[in-house]
Amino acid sequence: MKPDSIQKYRAFPAVDLKDRTWPDRVIDHSPIWCSVDLRDGNQALPQPMSIEEKLEFFELLCRVGFKQIEIGFPSAADTEFNFCRRLIEENRIPEDVTIQILVQTREHLIRRSFEAINGAKRAIVHIYNSTSPLQRRVTFGDASREEIRDLAIEGTKLVKELVPTVPDTEIVLQYSPESFSDTELDFALECCNEVIEIWQPTPEKKMVINLPDTVQWTTPNIHADMIEWMGRHLNRRDSIDISLHTHNDRGTGTAATELGLMAGADRVEGTLFGNGERTGNLDIINVALNMNSHGIETGLDFSNINELRAVYERVTRMTVGERHPYAGELVFTAFSGSHQDAIKKGLDRRNRELKEQDDLAWGVPYLTIDPQDIGRSYEAIIRINSQSGKGGVAWVLEREHGLELPKTMHPQVGKRIYDMADEQGRELNIDEIREAFYQYFVNVDQPLAVSDYELVHHTVEKGLVDCTASITVNGEEKKIEGQGNGPINAFTHALENAGLKNFQLTDYRSHAVRGGSDANAAAYVQLRHDDGRILWGCGIDASIEMAGLKALVCAANLFSETSS
């Protein structure tokens, strides 16, 4: 902000609540959830959803498990009205789902809304009027507190009067002092208590008092103070569901909701992926999955977040950002070396420990939840660029290409591959990583190559092997022979007999290559050169013995590539 603009702004007053209790509370159960995607989300779209799109979204919300869904503002436009009628007339509302409609406390709009909901089994009629000093002054043209309070009173009386006009529909009242977030608390309370006393809710027939963070003017702790204060002062508290409706102007919609729940709220309104006015409504997925990550059931099923995201992006024409909590493309991906190292170790260790303990608590560095629990896969967890480390490269080779490199080979391979990413200034995809590994570390056959071999296993002296091999050294073909206590050892002696050995074999591993169509074996040989250098080579071949010889030849050749 420009320095001289600062004078335009004022500090937001704190709430006088010295004995606040919410900071010591923990969230240990789920609230009532209400989706407002089809209303607050929809009203904020450059191109609002068509009826067909709203129908598809409504069904999606039911599948997720929402039991309360604000379906629109039926008195606003024909599309909204007709959508409501279709839901009712085509019996599309599941038995256990209650629709909610929004309307201003204006007579003609309330009457029209009752025409819209007639015949629904149950409906929440959500009335609102703005209450803050700013809105009283600006929107309502210097209206007094009494005039604004009277809007709430008259609106509630009208709703009560219209209830008998929809005899087949159970009506639940919801009242929002809109712009609660910058309304004086005593005035918000006065409006709410007037509504409550007219409606006369009971513990059996509750009503909803929704306290919206319409515009987030201040920090989440003040929001929590306001919620706790209202909860202490509202009449008939046991007959009221206090509802939160946060927006995200300061980027703290989730925090404000979580603190609001600690402050005693019973219910949460929000949208999938936080669609909504300006910076959006609360992202309900975020809060619900945060609860799941602390072991709290929510009744909402986000186990296929990719499907939700696909439908959401299609019907709203919005996009979910790559860093969006839980749903973003990159949120379960690590590029950086130290993260990759820790994640790989965490997942490997967990897989080992699960064999002994099947109720093992989740605990993998950098992953707050198991991505598989919301339908995200492990495949993309680790991606390789110049910030990556050896563990990440080894992970990709293992997970994607079935190659289990020995741990001491990781630095040699990792460096080569992330240096490549650095040179090219971009991420390397999994095929490029495989190609680079094959190019630099597999079956390298210059200057030495082995083209054929024959092994004779001694029957009397068990384990002893004679090896005859055809090799090429700098283009010149040779036959070599040697004996040893295994194929690799015999081949090493054959090289030694031909004066071609300048190393010691220090390690050897092999395994069948997982996945892919080739039934290949991979062997890894580590050699220590006479000058002290230590290098690994890899051999891949249909025959495990040939894979071993090729790995040895490969490692020997790599010495010629690097200077001593």
Ligand X SMILES: CC(=O)SCCNC(=O)CCNC(=O)[C@H](O)C(C)(C)COP(=O)(O)OP(=O)(O)OC[C@H]1O[C@@H](n2cnc3c(N)ncnc32)[C@H](O)[C@@H]1OP(=O)(O)O
Residues that bind ligand KIV (CB under 6 A): 40, 102, 128, 176, 178, 210, 212, 214, 245, 247
Name the minimum Å distance from CB 196 to ligand KIV. 17
When binding is defined by CB under 6 A, the residue of 37, 53, 70, 178 that contacts ligand X is: 178
104 in contact with ligand X (CB under 6 A):
yes
When binding is defined by CB under 6 A, the residue of 35, 98, 105, 340 that contacts ligand X is: 105
> Is 126 annotated as belonging to a binding site?
no
> Is 348 annotated as belonging to a binding site?
no
What span, in angstroms and rounded, lies between the C-alpha atoms of 178 and 136?
A: 11
76 in contact with ligand X (CB under 6 A):
yes
> Is 235 annotated as belonging to a binding site?
no
Show Cβ contacts of residue 313 under 8 Å, excluding neighbours closer than 6 positions.
319, 320
Show Cβ contacts of residue 499 under 8 Å, excluding neighbours closer than 6 positions.
none
Name the minimum Å distance from CB 63 to Mg ion. 24
Q: Tell me, what amino acid is at 362?
A: W
Name the minimum Å distance from CB 24 to Mg ion. 30
**What angle do helix axes 410-424 and 390-401 make, rounded to 10 degrees?**
100
Name the minimum Å distance from CB 201 to ligand KIV. 18
Show Cβ contacts of residue 108 under 8 Å, excluding neighbours closer than 6 positions.
75
Alpha helix locations (H) across 32-184? 42-43, 51-64, 78-89, 107-117, 133-138, 145-162
Nearer to ligand KIV, 216 or 286 (CB): 216
Of the candidates 147, 163, 67, 62, the one whose C-alpha atom is nearest the C-alpha of residue 110 is 163
246 in contact with ligand X (CB under 6 A):
no
Show Cβ contacts of residue 9 under 8 Å, excluding neighbours closer than 6 positions.
none
57's contact among Mg ion, ligand KIV, ligand X, none, with CB below 5 to 8 A by partner kind, is: none
424 in contact with ligand X (CB under 6 A):
no
Nearer to Mg ion, 76 or 473 (CB): 76
Nearer to ligand KIV, 274 or 482 (CB): 274
CA-to-CA separations, 156 to 84, 149, 187, 199, in angstroms, rounded: 22, 11, 17, 7
Name the minimum Å distance from CB 406 to ligand KIV. 58
When binding is defined by CB under 6 A, the residue of 63, 86, 92, 106 that contacts ligand X is: 106
Alpha helix locations (H) across 263-409? 284-292, 305-316, 337-354, 390-401
218's contact among ligand X, ligand KIV, Mg ion, none, with CB below 5 to 8 A by partner kind, is: none
217 in contact with ligand X (CB under 6 A):
no
> Is 150 annotated as belonging to a binding site?
no
8-state DSSP, 73 = -
Nearer to ligand X, 101 or 334 (CB): 101
110's contact among ligand KIV, Mg ion, ligand X, none, with CB below 5 to 8 A by partner kind, is: none
Which spans of this chain sit near Mg ion (rule: CB under 5 A)?
40
Nearer to ligand KIV, 174 or 388 (CB): 174
Instruction: Supply the DSSP string of 302-339, one letter for each residue.
Output: -TTHHHHHHHHHHHH-----TTSTTTSTTTT-B-SHHH
The answer to whether 527 and 504 are in contact (CB under 8 A) is yes
144 in contact with ligand X (CB under 6 A):
no
Of the candidates 203, 191, 256, 202, the one whose C-alpha atom is nearest the C-alpha of residue 230 is 191
Torsion of CA 185, 187, 192, 196, to 10 degrees: 120
210's contact among ligand X, Mg ion, ligand KIV, none, with CB below 5 to 8 A by partner kind, is: ligand KIV
378 in contact with ligand X (CB under 6 A):
no
105's contact among ligand KIV, ligand X, Mg ion, none, with CB below 5 to 8 A by partner kind, is: ligand X
CA distance between the termini of the chain: 58
333's contact among ligand KIV, ligand X, Mg ion, none, with CB below 5 to 8 A by partner kind, is: none
Nearer to ligand X, 77 or 360 (CB): 77
* Pair of tokens at residue 543: 């025959």
Residues making contact with ligand X (CB under 6 A): 40, 43, 73, 76-77, 104-106, 109, 128-129, 139-140, 151, 178, 214, 277
Binding residues for Mg(2+): 40, 245, 247, 281
The binding site consists of: 40, 245, 247, 281
